[in-house]
Amino acid sequence: MSKTVQLFVTCLIDSLFPEIGEAVVEVLMRAGVQVAIPQEQTCCGQPAFNAGYRGPARKMARHTIEVLEDTVGPVVVPSGSCAGMIRHGYLELFADDPTWLLRANMLAERTYELSEFLVDQLGVVDLGASFIGRLAYHPSCHLLRGLGVDHQPLDLLEGVAMAQVHRLKPECCGFGGVFAVDQPEISTEMLKRKLAEINQSEAGVVVGCDVSCLMHIEGGLRHIGSSVRCAHLAQVLAGREATLR
């Protein structure tokens, strides 16, 4: 019965937040699927693509395609922006290269963001998790607008017993990859706005589906000495210590 999914864990989770990776595996297993983890995976190449360096981005995209096309079954990515990179970004990168475009397309068609996979593909919304307290859900831009994944994370959070869920506005936190370093002033102003909204929500934990945004937000929270922490959706669903680290 149980099918196997390929976990593309993303380089940020792998390198910075391995606990999230463990939570993702646990959530997927609880949802009744087996998890394979291709060992040769690295980075999808999104930072280079977004910075306008398509040559380097293509190298990483080819590597990722090669690693994943050797596997079967759905590819699950616990990150909206990385899933979006594979689904849309690769097609743009290889628009003029029919062979690679075909390969990119085949990968794109079996790639899903985690919450999207759980809700839309498996039909799972209740994973038996519970959380005592108030959660603020941050709809990250690439997930919400890039992939059109809007209700799925909320459906899953609704299945978390006892959790009070506050929805943050669908406004960017100011991360934007290289943007955060290239335009620190604008990025910081946008982050301030987000932090103020989080503070107002009176939530103890900010939950989302993009580690990049979450580390940006938590980095900001820690910088101002806030005790609010961020957690990936999988951490809340796995019922683990709900914070990035």
Partner 1 sequence: MRNRFRHRIRNAIANPNLQVALDRNAERRMAAWNETFASLPDVEDLRRRAREVRQHTLDNLDHYLERFTQRLVENGIRVHRAADAAEACRLAVAITQASGATLVAKSKSITTEEIDLNHSLQQGGIRVVETDLGEFIVQLRGEAPAHIITPAVHLLREDVAATFERELGMPYSTDVEDMNAAAKKVLREVFLTAQVGISGVNFGVVETGTLCLVTNEGNGRMVTTLPPIHIAIMGVERLVPSLDDLALMLQLLPRSATGQKTTSYVTLIQNPRQEGEPDGSDERHVILLDNGRLAMANSPLAESLLCIRCGACLNVCPVFREIGGHAYGSVYPGPIGSVVSPGLFGLSDFGHLAKASTLCGACKEVCPVGIDFPTMLLRVRDAYSNNTPQPLAMWLAMSLYAWLMVSPSRYRLAQRLGAWGSRLLPKQAGWVRTLPPPLSAWTSSRYFPSFAFQPFLARKQRLNYDAKPTPTPQRRKRETEQLTEKSQPEDVVDRFSRELEDIGGTIVRCEEGVAPDKVAAYLREFGITKLIAWGEQQPALNAVIHHLRDKGFEILDPCLPRGSGPERDRRMVDLGRAEAGLTGAIAGVAETGTLVVPAGRNQSQLASLLPPVHLVLLPASVIHQTMTDWLREGGEEAIAGASSLNLISGPSRTADIEMTLTIGVHGPGQVIVFCLD
Residues 125-164 that bind partner 1 (CB under 8 A): 125-128, 141-142, 144-146, 151, 155, 158-159
Q: Tell how strand 130-137 and strand 161-167 pair up.
A: parallel
Rounded to whole angstroms, how far apart are CA atoms 75 and 70? 12
Residue 22 as a binder of partner 1 (CB under 8 A): the answer is yes
Residue 8 as a binder of partner 1 (CB under 8 A): the answer is no
Is the CA virtual torsion 97, 103, 108, 114 positive or negative? negative
Q: Which of 4, 22, 8 is nearest to 78 (CA)?
A: 8
Residues with Cβ < 8 Å from 53, sequence gap 6 or more?
none
Residue 203 to residues 136, 160, 206, Cα–Cα distance (Å): 6, 15, 7
Q: Which is nearer to partner 1, 121 or 201 (CB)?
A: 121
Residue 185 to residues 114, 138, 141, 192, 221, Cα–Cα distance (Å): 32, 22, 20, 11, 17
Instruction: State in angstroms the smallest separation of the CB of 182 from partner 1.
Output: 6
Residue 71 as a binder of partner 1 (CB under 8 A): the answer is no
Instruction: State in angstroms the smallest separation of the CB of 108 from partner 1.
Output: 15
Residue 187 as a binder of partner 1 (CB under 8 A): the answer is yes
Instruction: State in angstroms the smallest separation of the CB of 17 from partner 1.
Output: 7
Residue 240 as a binder of partner 1 (CB under 8 A): the answer is no
Instruction: State in angstroms the smallest separation of the CB of 177 from partner 1.
Output: 8
Burial letters 4-42, b for 16+ CB under 10 A, else e: ebbbbbbbbbbeebebbbbbbbbbbebbebebeeeeebe
Instruction: State in angstroms the smallest separation of the CB of 64 from partner 1.
Output: 9
| Position among 5, 6, 43, 168 found at the interface with partner 1 (CB under 8 A) | 43
Selected range binding partner 1 among 33-41, 68-76, 102-110, 196-204, rule: CB under 8 A: 33-41
Residues within window 82-121 making contact with partner 1, judged by CB under 8 A: 92
Q: Which is nearer to partner 1, 99 or 185 (CB)?
A: 185
